Amino acid sequence: MKIQNTIKFGFLLIIIAILCISDKVYAQTYQDLNATVIVEDQALPTDARERLRNFKQQVQDYLNRNKWHDEPIPTINCTFQFNFRTTNGFDLYETQLVVVAQREVYRVDKTEPIRYTTMFRILDERCNFSYQSSMQFIKNDVIFDPLLSLLNYYAYLIVGFDEDSYYPKGGTKYFQKALDICNKLITDKRGWTETGGGSKPSRLQLVQELTSVKFDDFRKGVFEYHWMGVDSLAINKNNAYQYIVKSLEKMSNIKKKEIKAFNVDIFFDTKYLEIADTFLDYGDKTIYDKLILIDPTHRSTYEEKKRQAR
């Protein structure tokens, strides 16, 4: 009996050890973002470009190694493109930042090629920060840092939109984290709370929309468009088409009620080609007339695709 108990105890220890090792390996290899960083610095003098030689790798490592979601999620592909414009000659830089995020479209047959849908494409024209290659890239949601907080803000935005595409308003806690960053004590408010009089929204305005009940229909529309629509085309095409149109109408109606609807504009600027291509095999070309009413900004694309539709 004692021998049997010893064997059982030994076997239990082996199982626990295997689970601990598995958890450790999983924790070490798992990442939320698969970020690619692109640096365009031709507008800067040679010495400034030299000081930026480690910038790309440091930013990329920071985005990819840190945890942005509270739970394990499929890795999200994203791109951060920094277009450097000016420098003070030392460590201060002004840049434009283009952020693009994608996720996989659901596949019933996992042997089929992976397709991606672009969640959003944002041009941020007013990014100002200091950078030195010796700076510590340590994630901190409490202390504001012009560069790291900028990265944190967009990382949370990416995760928030990803969650909204799977669950109705699933990204709330991540949009709130982005909002918390905007509400910190910020010395240089350009881009954060001030727009500079341009047509682009501030980071605060973007995330205020996403956390406002006035934009609940937009966020529900994001869910319906992706999970009930694009992800479901291979399961029930007719039903999926209906959800896509319903979601687009829901988002478009927000613009009739709100003076500004920056996220709605960003959605259609990101998605119009995908939307137009999705309905090529719909079977009724008049759907493009409805799309023109929903999204008149991209009328020429819908008219062209209407001619190509089958």
Q: What is residue 197's predicted lDDT score, i.e. its pLDDT?
A: 65
Cα–Cα distance, 253 to 217 (Å, whole number): 9
Q: What is residue 198's predicted lDDT score, i.e. its pLDDT?
A: 66
Is there a contact between 102 and 118 (Cβ–Cβ < 8 Å)?
A: yes
- 189 to 144, 181, 183, 260, 272: CA distances (angstroms): 12, 12, 11, 21, 32
Is there a contact between 164 and 178 (Cβ–Cβ < 8 Å)?
A: no
Q: What is the DSSP string of 97-117?
A: EEEEEEEEPP-SSTTSPP-EE
Could you say which residues of the chain have pLDDT below 50?
2-29
Sorted by sequence, the CB contacts under 8 Å of residue 172 that are 6+ apart come out as 160, 211
Is there a contact between 105 and 71 (Cβ–Cβ < 8 Å)?
A: no
- 101 to 75, 117, 154: CA distances (angstroms): 11, 9, 10
Is there a contact between 55 and 66 (Cβ–Cβ < 8 Å)?
A: no
Q: What is residue 3's predicted lDDT score, i.e. its pLDDT?
A: 47
